[in-house]
Structure 1
Amino acid sequence: MKIYKYILIGFLIVTTIFVSNHGGNVSYALFYLAIILPIISVIYTLYVYQHFRIYQMIDHKTIVKGELVPYRFTVSNEYFITYRSIQLKFYDDKSQVVGGDTTVEYTLLPGESIEKKTNLRCNYRGEYEVGIKMVVITDFLRLISITFPIQSKYRVMVLPRVLNLSRLRILPLEKDAKRTLTCNNPEQIEMDNELRNYVYGDSLKRIHWKASAKKQTMQTRKMTQNPRQEMNLYIDLCKLDVTGMDQIIIEDKMIEAELAIVKYCQKMGVPINVFYQQDGPQKRRILNAMDFNKLYQESPKIKFNQKVSVHELLSKNVINMGKCLVLVHKLEDALCIQLQRLKQNRAELVLLYFTSELEEEEKVKIGTLRSIGIYVREILREEELVNIL
C-alpha cells in the first residue's frame, strides 16, 4: 500500500511543478485530480464503513473455558456500490477464532454476502468480548486504509474448567485422611453400645451374643450416625502484584483449584465450607450438586479486587478449624503468623501458593511453614493443576 501513496505523492509533486512552469487546462486538471483523489478515497472508505454489515452468531453465550463452540459471521453488501478490501480483525487476547485469518480481504459486489462457519475457543474464565474486534477498510485505489471498531460487539460468559479428580493428593497423609474422603455417604453409620430387642430383618452382625445369652433373648446394637468431619477452604481474592497474562492465568488457576477441591469433596460426600471476600464476607456451604452448581455459576464473576486479606478471614476462626485449605497468591508475614497460630490450635493445614516465579524470600517462608507441619505446595503458572491436586 505504501507504493501507492508514494506514487500519489510523486504525481502531486510532478503536477505541481508542471502547473507552475507551463499552466494550461491539462496541467491544472491533473493537478486537481492529484488533490481530489485522497478526498474521494476518504469519502469512499467512510461510506463503506457506514453501509456494510457484519453479523455474528455464537450458539451459546455461556461457554466453558477451552471448549470449541460453533461460531459464524457474515459480511454483507446491501447497497449498490462495490466494496473492496475489507479485512476483519478478531479478538485474540483471551479467545481465538479457529481459522480466523486476519489477512483475508473481502470484496463484495452489490447485494453480495459472504458467510464463514468456524469455531470459537475461549481460553480464560470471565465475561468479555469475543469474535470480530474491528474492521480495516481500504479504498479502491489502495491509497488509504482506516481501522474502525465494531459497534455491536459480542459478549460471552466463560465458565472455568472443573477438573475431575480421582483422589486429592494435597491432603496430609495422616491415618484418617484416606478414610475421611473415600466414603460416598455424607454420614458414617456406626454401631452403638446401647442395645434393643432383636427385630426381624436386623443384620446378624449387629447381634450382641453375650447380652443375648445373659437376657435369654436376642439383643442387637443400635445404629448411630457419626457426622463426617467438615473441611474449610479459604481463597485470597486480593489484587495480584503481577499484571497482564500472568495475572489472568494465576487467577484462573486459583478458581479452578477451588472448584476441583470442592467438587471432589461434594462427590465424596464431605461437607466443605468456602470462605472468601466479595463485596463483603462470603461463606458457601457445599453439601450437594445443587450447592456446587450455584458456586460454579458465580465463578466467572469473581473479581480479584478485594481489600480484605485472607489472613483476616482466618483470624475469625482460630478455634476448632479442623481441616483447612488456604489458596493464596501472596505469602505475607501476617498470613504466616496466622497459619502458625492455627497450627498451634491443632488445625490440619494445607497451603496452596500460586505464583509466576518463586523468589528466595518466599522459599524461606515456605520452608518455615513446612518445618512446623503445614503442608505447602507452590503452583507455578505453567504447571497443570491435574498433576498437582
Structure 2
Amino acid sequence: MIFFLLLLTLTFAVFTAGKIIFLLTYEFAIFILLNYLYLRYVKNSLDLYIIAHEEKFTVGEEAEYEINLINNSFLPVFNVEIRDYSTVSGKFGLMEGYLASFKNKKFKKKFTLPRRGIYFVGPFELKIQDPFGIFTRVKFYDFKIKLKVFPKVRDIKPSLKAAQQLGIVEAKNRAFEDYTNMLQLRKYVPGDSIKRIHWKVSAKKGELYAKEFQISAMSEVYLLWDLNKGHFLDDVDGKLDEECAECMVSVAKYCLLAGIPVNLLDYPSGQVQVRGRTIRDFGAFMEASIKNFPVYDKGILDFEGLDVVIPKDATLVLITPYLDSFVLNKLHELQDTGVEVLIYYVNDYGKIKDKIDKIRVGMVFWRHKNGEKVKGSFV
C-alpha cells in the first residue's frame, strides 16, 4: 500500500510538473527509506536467549524458563513481538512491547507439568516493526531446550516369599557370591580372605584393597507393563497411564535397592528392553518410562513364549489397569510352569471385585494405601 501511494504521488508530480509535489515525493521516499534502514538495522541488533535452570522434572512439579530479549543498538525498538511455539503447557504465546536502546527485557513463566514425557521449549519468533508500522520483519530462532518429565517414584515394601534370607534380599534358591561379577573395590579389613585382595590396585594405592562381589540368589524379576491402548479408553485425563508408569519405576527401584535383578519387557516384542542389577541402573528405567506409552493394539494374550523369555523360579510382575478371565487363565498357566506371577492392578477395586476369588496369583492394588499387598506374595 505504501509503495502504491509513493508511485501515485510520483505520477501526479510528473504530470502536474509541480515543484512542491516533487519535493513532497522526494521527502516521502526518503521517509520510507529511513524506516526500511532502521528496521533492517534493529533486526540485526536484537538477540534472544532462553534460560532453563532445570531440565529434569517429576510429574506435578513446577517448572520455569526465562526469555531474555536484548537490544544491542543505540536505537530503540518501538514495536517488537515474541511468539513462543513451545510444546509445554502454560506457554508464553504472544508478548509485545517497547525496548530502549542498549537495554534488555526478561519474561519469566512458571507452569506445572501434569504428564510424563519429553517437552520442548521453543522455537521462538520475533516480529519487528518500524515506528510507523510501514515495514515488518520476522526473525526466527529454531533452538529448543529439552525438558524431561519423569513419573513419581513411591517407596513400596511388598512382602517377599522365600526360603532363604540374604540381609534384605530373600530368594528361593541358595545364595552365593557371583565371582564373575565384581561389585566394587573397598579397603581391606581384618578377616577378609587373602584371595579377595586386588594386588594391582593395592600396589598403586600403597594400601590393601579387597574385591567385593555381587550377591546372587538366582532370583530375578521381569516387568510386563501393559501398554494396550484399548485398556486405557476411559483414561481421558491420562491419570491411569501416569499411575501405571509410577508403579513400574517404583517396583523397579525397590528391586534394585534390594539387589534383585530386574528386567523391563518391551511391550511390542516381548523381549527384554532394559536390564538392571544395582540402583545405578535405575536411570535406564526412568528413561524408559518417558518413552513408552499405551499406543499398541497388542494384548497381553498375544505374547507367545513368555515362559521361554522368563526363566523358571523368576517372577513376572504384570502392571495393568485391566483384567479379564482370559488374561487370568494365561497367567495361571504361566505360573504352573514354575514362574511366580504378581499382578499390580492399577485401577478401581470395583472393576474386578467379582474375579478376586478366582485369582491364584499374587495381587496388589496400586491405589490401595501404600500399595499394600492384597493377596498372594511378591518374590
Fold similarity call, TM over 0.5: yes
1:108 is the counterpart of 2:99: yes
Q: Does the CA-based 8 Å contact 1:183-1:269 persist in structure 2?
A: no
- Superposition deviation, residue 167 in structure 1: 1.9
Alignment of 1:35-46 (within 5 A): none
Name the CA distance, whole Å, in 1 between partners of 2:171 and 2:333. 30
1:1-389 matches, within 5 Å, as 52-67=46-61, 71-79=65-73, 82-84=76-78, 86-88=80-82, 94-95=88-89, 105-116=96-107, 122-130=113-121, 151-168=141-158, 177=161, 183-185=167-169, 227=217, 229-239=219-229, 246=236, 248-277=238-267, 281-306=271-296, 308-313=298-303, 315-317=305-307, 320=312, 323-331=315-323, 334-342=326-334, 348-354=340-346, 363=351, 367-368=354-355, 370-374=357-361, 387-388=370-371
Read off the aligned partner of 1:351 and give its amino acid letter: I
Which is worse superposed, 112-121 or 263-272? 112-121
Judged with a 3 Å threshold, the aligned counterparts in structure 2 of structure 1 residues 386 and 329 are, in CA distance, closer, same or farther, namely: same
Provide the C-alpha distance between the structure 2 equivalents of 1:161 and 1:240, rounded to a whole number of angstroms. Answer: 22
Q: CA deviation at 1:231?
A: 3.0
Please tell me whether the aligned partners of residues 70 and 120 of structure 1 are also in contact (alpha carbons under 8 angstroms): yes
> How far is 1:83 from its partner?
3.1
C-alpha distance after superposition, 1:78-112 (max 9, x if no partner): 45664345454556864557xx6x67643113443
1:228-267 Cα shifts (integer Å, max 9, x gaps): 6433321123446658984754443322211111111221
Provide the C-alpha distance between the structure 1 equivalents of 2:172 and 2:362, rounded to a whole number of angstroms: 27
Q: Please list the CA deviations of residues 260-281 of structure 1 after superposition, one character each: whole Å capped at 9, or x if unmatched.
A: 1111122123333332236772
Shift of the alpha carbon at 1:186?
A: 6.8
Letter matched to residue 242 of structure 2? D
Call closer, same or farther: CA 1:108–1:308 in 2, change over 3 Å.
Answer: same
Alpha-carbon distance between aligned partners in 1 of 2:74 and 2:250, rounded to the nearest angstrom: 56
Identical positions, percent: 16
State how far apart, in whole Å, the 2-side matches of 1:240 and 1:53 are.
48
How far apart are residue 368 of structure 1 and its match? Answer: 2.3
* 8 Å CA contact 1:127, 1:156 repeated in 2: yes
Question: Which amino acid counterpart does residue 335 of structure 1 have in structure 2?
Answer: V
Please state how far the C-alpha of 1:336 moved relative to its aligned partner. Answer: 3.8
Q: Which amino acid aligns with 2:168?
A: N
Q: Deviations over 1:272-324 (max 9, x none)?
A: 33322367722544321233233334443335445544333375218846543
| 2-structure distance, mates of 1:150, 1:240 | 41
Which one-letter code corresponds to 2:343 in the other structure?
A: L
- Match of residue 208 from structure 1: none
Residues 1:305 and 1:298: Cα distance change in structure 2 (over 3 Å): same
Q: Distance in 2 between matches of 1:343 and 1:119?
A: 49
Is the CA contact 1:71–1:120 (under 8 Å) kept in the aligned structure 2?
no
User: Over residues 99-135 of structure 1, what are the superposed CA-to-partner deviations in whole Å (9 max), with x where a residue is unaligned?
Assistant: x6x6764311344321346667644332221267666
Aligned-partner Cα distance in 1 for 2:229–2:335 = 27
Q: Secondary structure at the match of 1:277?
A: coil
Q: Give SS of 1:254's match.
A: helix
- Between the aligned partners of 1:119 and 1:181, the Cα distance in structure 2 is 49
Give the superposition deviation at 1:68: 5.2
Contact 1:71–1:118, Cα closer than 8 Å, also in 2: yes
Q: How far apart, in 1, do the equivalents of 2:291 and 2:146 lie?
A: 12
Task: State the TM-score, normalizing by the size of structure 1.
Answer: 0.56
- Three-state SS of the structure 1 residue aligned to 2:266 is strand
Q: Is the 8 A contact 1:324 1:347 kept in 2?
A: yes
Q: Contact (CA 8 Å) 2:113, 2:149: kept in 1 or not?
A: no
Q: CA deviation at 1:152?
A: 1.7
Give, as a single letter, the amino acid of the residue that structure 1 aligns with 2:248: E
Deviation at 1:348, TM superposition (A): 4.6
Query: How big is each residue's C-alpha offset from its partner over 1:157-192, in whole Å with a ceiling of 9 and x where there is no partner?
Result: 415145241523xx6xxxx6499899425779989x
For structure 2, the residue ranges without an aligned partner over 5 or more in a row are 1-17, 19-31, 176-190, 192-214, 373-379
| Alpha carbons 1:125, 1:300 under 8 Å: kept | yes
Instruction: Please name the residue that 1:196 is paired with.
Output: none
CA distance change for structure 1 residues 159 and 252 in 2, over 3 Å: closer, same or farther? Answer: same
- Tell whether the 8 Å contact from 1:186 to 1:271 is kept in structure 2 after alignment: no
Write the distance in 1 (CA, Å) between the matches of 2:357 and 2:43: 62
Specify the SS of the correspondent of 2:255. Answer: helix
Task: For residue 332 of structure 1, report the CA deviation from its aligned partner.
Answer: 6.4
